[in-house]
Structure formats: structure tokens, C-alpha cells
Chains A and B, each alone.
Chain A
């Protein structure tokens, strides 16, 4: 039986960690490792000891699960591509072999429920896209007892204070236990092509109205002013438009009831639709990430409003013409309202039927530990740790201004209203009608009022409100 090697598609990014980065990052870390790219990562034997020191400081029996093997399953995502090069190091540290299964998001979201629904013990660790679903379906192992296990977890070394508060509060389920760990942090951020703004002498917009008027001025026959997701799917426009709703004083779900038919929500969606209609590109109704990001990187669109993670690609000169002259800004606010950008933490959890739970837990805490986050953030990963975000490695990989803007937006975000919707067990039945309705408003098929009222009725019926 053929066992697949750790996959590296696309080719692994070069990780240039020098001694200097580490010393600057934290005084406790003195060594550095150099991982080479192309094929399996190898690193100079002389640096292994330095790396090991960082982990051996911990009061954990790293080798307690030696010889076991776990399956890590995730979607094609910066988290997976940043953790994978570090896996051989994990193996040296713990003796645990990690097999990686990576798929595109659509495949992943279809395949995992089938596997877990059928009671499969594999994967052992997996990325969780819908905490509400996974928890309710019983697909996750409670992590509390593992956190209390002093053989596997060293609280002091782990430094919980270093982790973003929302990242810590999100995994707490309504029974008080945690079934996942947050692994990334992203917030709704604006990215604006500074050259195109300068050409018309406009400032970065800060409100809905400014976004609309600036967007209209930027739109010419050749380029569009603003492009945001609005494909008729629960995964497309709901997140950015949700941020618009939040930034207009509205919410999506409150106390288990859908509130999209409130005046604030309707107005926010109306703005979203109007901005895209009047300042957006032709056919924006079918736009998902690919289209939004591609348009922006090819400079046929001036402003975008989406996940801070876009920054890594926008600043990559091999992919983007907009690299080097993009300004990252705060989320825009509704009239008389406070900006409340949307946010997201990707989660990872342990399969409740896994046969390697201790090994899986070791892996998760290793992946989220300070030294690992430092290394993965130097590859551009938006981790959940302040120390990683403030490190030079991260700033040069992600972009210093982008990092600042993203952090600001993260801090302004209201995690609770986001959770109420996206962590609802029936999040799918909330987001799909919402997504379809947004699309209908953007294509001009329905008015915001009608679309939202119909969607709300449908959602409330589905979630039994």
C-alpha cells in the first residue's frame, strides 16, 4: 500500500528565518532553524538542537505518544501550507507521524460530513468550518480534560495571555466546554489601490456613503470602483455583507431569531447592493473570492473589502500588480454608526471517534504554541498570537501596514454577533437564504426590503424561531 508523502502543492514557500528574526521576536528564543524549500523540507542538522531548545523548555512529555500516527485533514488554506513544512520537526520532537489530507474547500466541506457522519475514526485532527454543526453532530472531542493533563499541556509555557481574547472565547461551547482550538485570525479589512485613489485625489473611504461616492468616481469604462463577493451561495456575500449589517447597528441572529428584516439590516444590505450596482464591475453578482481578488490584483478594481488574509497575495509581486501600493484600511461604518467589521477564526478539533486523541492533542497544542506560531507567521500565516503578529517575520511576510489594519479591525469586531450566526448549528440554513438574497439585491432582481423580509421568514421557519 502506497503511503503518500507530505504534500507540497503548490511548492513550499521558502522560509527564511534568520537568527536575527528570532532574537528580535522574543528574548527567550535564541536559536533559529533554516528550512529549505522544494520537495521535503530539510534543515541543517546543526540547527535542530536550537529548535529543540524552544520546545524542551516546556514541562511536557513530548515523546509520550512516540510511534503513533495521526491524520490531519484540512482544506487548501494558508494554515495548512504554513504548518506542513514544520511537520518533520514535529516528528523529530514527538515521534508522531502526521499524514496530511488536503482538499479544496468545496471538496472538503462535502467529504468530511460524510466521513464523520459515517463514524469514521479518521481524520484525527481536522479543520472545522462550522463549529455549530460539528459540535451538535457530536463530531468533536472535548478538549478540557486534555488541557488539564499536565503530561500533555504546560499552561505557563503555552502563555494563554499571548492569545487573542476572541480566539480564546470562541471555542467555548454553550455547555462551557471547549471542543476546538482557534488556529487563525482574520478580520474584514479594506484594501484600496493607492495609485488609483491618488489619480482622482480621493481619500480612503470611512463610511458607507464615502465608499459609494468614491467608488462611483473611481469607476470608469475600464475599471470598477468596488468589488465584493455576492455569488448566490451561503459562503459568498454573507460574510462581507454581514459586516455591513453589523456596522450599521444590525445583527443577523439574536436570541435564536433572525433579525435580517430590521431597518438597520435592510439599510445595510441596500447599501451593499447599491455600491456594487453603481460602483462595481459587470457581473459582480457571480463574484466569489477568486473574482474579487483577481480583479483587484490585476488592477481592474480599485477597492475591495474582504478578509485580511488577502494581503499575503496582494503584496506578492509575482501574482499581483497592486503589490506595494495598496493601503489597508478599517471597515466602513453606516450613517451614525460604529464600524463593526466581521471576523473569523478558523478552528481545528479532534475527531470524537479518533483512536489517537492524546497524539492529536499534542499536535494541536504544538501547532498553536508560541515557537510554532512564530515560525508559521514568518510564512505569512495570520495566527492567534500577539507575539507572532508583532514579530518582524510576520510583518515582512504579511506587510506591516496590512498587519496594523487587520489588528485594528480584529479589535473593533464584535465576536458575539458573529458567533450567534456562524456558530449556530443550522448556520447553513441561515447563510444560504441570506446569500441568495444578497445576490438578488445586487443583481437588482429584488429590493433590499423584499429580499430581506423573505429571507428572514425562510430562515426563521428553518431554525424554528
Chain B
């Protein structure tokens, strides 16, 4: 009985999560007249034209590639830089630990509007405007706060016994870190990795200001389908739908450690 209600709730939540996307998918098979028809059409004659247009559009492929490079780079470098910092903040008492941690958090607090022009000038002078590396740096910076704090949270909750045992055995701090601590925190890394990837993939404002013609990620590119006085629903919905595929693929790869069975919680 309990199972039935649980399943019911889970599937209702699934419908809620999926419905707007169902609508988007629906729209991607419709002509522009059908897309806005009243009453809204659930059953209609589907057309493949929107998908064909998008697949044959080199620009959309460009958005996909740019987004992929930036998101993967951000996730990789973000985790690389953030996890060590998080570990140290969680495991070591030192002067300024709390303040440093809070400072990292505060980098996320200021609304970017006021900083856009200085950012732009800085990138212009450094010559990294409109480069993949430049945007990756910005995205890592924007996301570091959450990577560090979440991983710090995970490390705080993992009991220290195994690591202490490893020191007793003579390992250095560094060896303990990457041989023991990191594997233990894989569920956390998985969650944080997915969050970072999704964030970078969908980030709009800095991609807009710091990117241009060479680097044009999908959120910026797809906005181009929002035209003057009308929206090109066909291409917008088709490209958005297609762009889900790589994202879901990445999430699928990364989510193994999140599965319940792989809990590292049982310490003997």
C-alpha cells in the first residue's frame, strides 16, 4: 500500500516535471500556425521540417559544440580546483577557515549587473574575450562557491576514521586525499558535477557578454530564435529538444554514484 502511494506521488511529480517539455516537444513537430492554434492541438499532423531545418543548420551545431566545450571544461576544472579546497576547509582547523569559506560563498552573492562592464573590459584587455578558455574561467569562477561548499558539506559528513587510519599507516596528506577521501565522496562529486555541468550548459548572461561570434553557446544562440515581433517556435523547440540529448547523456554517465546501492556509508 505504502509502495502504491509512493509510486503515485513519484509519477505525479514526473508528469509535473515533464509536462512543459512535452509541450515543447509537441511544438517542435508543429507548423507555426499549429503551434499557436486554439484550441491547443494535442493530436495533429506532425511535420519533420523543424528538425530538418535545425539539423542542417551549421550554426546550431556550432552552439552545441561551443556549449559542450565550455560545460565540460567548466566541470573538469571546477572539480579539479574546488574539491581540494573543499577538503581542506572541511578537515583542517586553521585561522581564517570560516572567513575564507564565507568569502568564497560571497562571490556568488552580488548580482552581476553592476560588474558586467568591468568584466568585459578586463577580458578585452587580457585578450580572452570571445574565447572558450575565457568563458570556462568565468563559469568556473561563478560556480566555485557551490562546488566548494557542497563538497565541504559532503566531507564534513563522512567520518574521518578511514583517513586517520591511513595516516597512521604512514600516507601523506595528499595520498590520503586522493586515495581515500575522493573515492569516498563520489556521490557528492557526482551530484556537484552534474549541477556544474548543467549550470554551465545553461548559463546565459556571461556567455552573452563574454562570448561573441566565435563562442556562442546554446542559451545565447537559441535566443536568436526569439525574433522581432514573433518567435520562431519551430526552430526554437526543435533545437531545444535536440540539445537535451547530449545533456541527458552526460547526466546518465555521471549519475552512477548517486544510485542508492553504492553508498559508502557503512564503515566497519
Contacts and interface: CB of A to CB of B under 8 A. Distances in A.
A433 to B, nearest CB: 20
Contact of B33 (A77, A117, A318): A318
B226 interface: yes
Contact of A3 (B31, B37, B213, B228): B213
B120 A10 contact: no
Contact of A4 (B32, B216, B230): B216
B223 interface: yes
Interface in A1-48: 1-5, 7-11
B37 A298 contact: yes
Contact of B227 (A1, A5, A104): A104
Given A101-B213, A118-B121, A118-B124, A77 B235 contact: no
Interface stretch (B56-64, B77-85, B139-147, B183-191): B56-64
A294 B209 contact: no
Contact of B62 (A2, A120, A300): A2
A76 interface: yes
Given A75-B228, A76-B224, A111-B208, A318 B31 contact: yes
Contact of B208 (A1, A71, A110, A321): A110
Contacts of B223: 103-104, 106-107
Contacts of A117: 117
A118 B117 contact: yes
User: For B32, B213, B232, which residue has the most chain A Cβ atoms within 10 angstroms?
Assistant: B213
Contact of A297 (B36, B220, B234): B36
A102 B212 CA distance: 10
Please tell me the size bucket of the interface on A.
Answer: 35 or more
A313 B229 contact: yes
A78 interface: yes
Contact of A76 (B53, B124, B227): B227
Nearest to A11: B53
A107 B220 contact: yes
A310 B226 CA distance: 16
Contacts of A118: 117, 120-121, 124
B214 interface: yes
A319 B32 CA distance: 6
B228 A77 contact: yes
User: For B33, B225, B231, B232, which residue has the most chain A Cβ atoms within 10 angstroms?
Assistant: B33
A55 interface: no
A158 interface: no
A320 interface: yes
Contact of B232 (A10, A77, A102, A310): A10
A383 interface: no
A289 B120 contact: no
B208 A99 contact: no
Given A114-B209, A115-B120, A120-B124, A7 B229 contact: no
B53 to A, nearest CB: 6
A310 B213 contact: no
Interface in A114-146: 114-115, 117-120
A118 B212 CA distance: 15
B45 interface: no
A192 interface: no
B48 interface: no
B120 A298 contact: no
B226 A114 contact: no
Contact of B228 (A4, A76, A99, A297): A76
A10 B235 contact: yes
A313 B117 CA distance: 37
A145 to B, nearest CB: 28
A318 B34 CA distance: 10
A5 to B, nearest CB: 7
B248 interface: no
B116 interface: yes
A14 to B, nearest CB: 15
A293 interface: yes
A105 interface: yes
A110 B223 CA distance: 13
A264 to B, nearest CB: 29
Interface in A306-346: 307, 309-310, 313, 318-321
A103 B216 CA distance: 11
Contacts of B121: 118-119
Contacts of B93: none
A319 B36 CA distance: 9
Contacts of B212: 101
B38 interface: yes
A290 B31 contact: no
Contacts of B36: 294, 297-298
Given A4-B214, A9-B57, A289-B229, A114 B224 contact: no
Contact of B213 (A4, A76, A77, A298): A4
Interface of A: 1-5, 7-11, 71, 75-78, 99, 101-107, 110-111, 114-115, 117-120, 289-290, 293-294, 297-298, 300, 307, 309-310, 313, 318-321
25 contacts: A1-B214, A4-B62, A7-B59, A7-B224, A9-B235, A10-B53, A10-B232, A11-B53, A75-B228, A76-B227, A78-B228, A102-B224, A103-B223, A104-B223, A104-B226, A104-B228, A105-B226, A106-B226, A110-B208, A290-B230, A293-B229, A297-B36, A309-B229, A318-B33, A319-B230
Interface of B: 31-33, 36-38, 53, 57-59, 62, 116-117, 120-121, 124, 208-209, 212-214, 216, 220, 223-232, 234-235
Given A8-B59, A9-B57, A10-B235, 11 more contacts: A3-B213, A76-B226, A101-B213, A104-B226, A105-B228, A115-B120, A118-B124, A120-B120, A120-B124, A294-B36, A319-B33
Closest 3 CB pairs of A and B: A104-B226, A289-B229, A76-B227
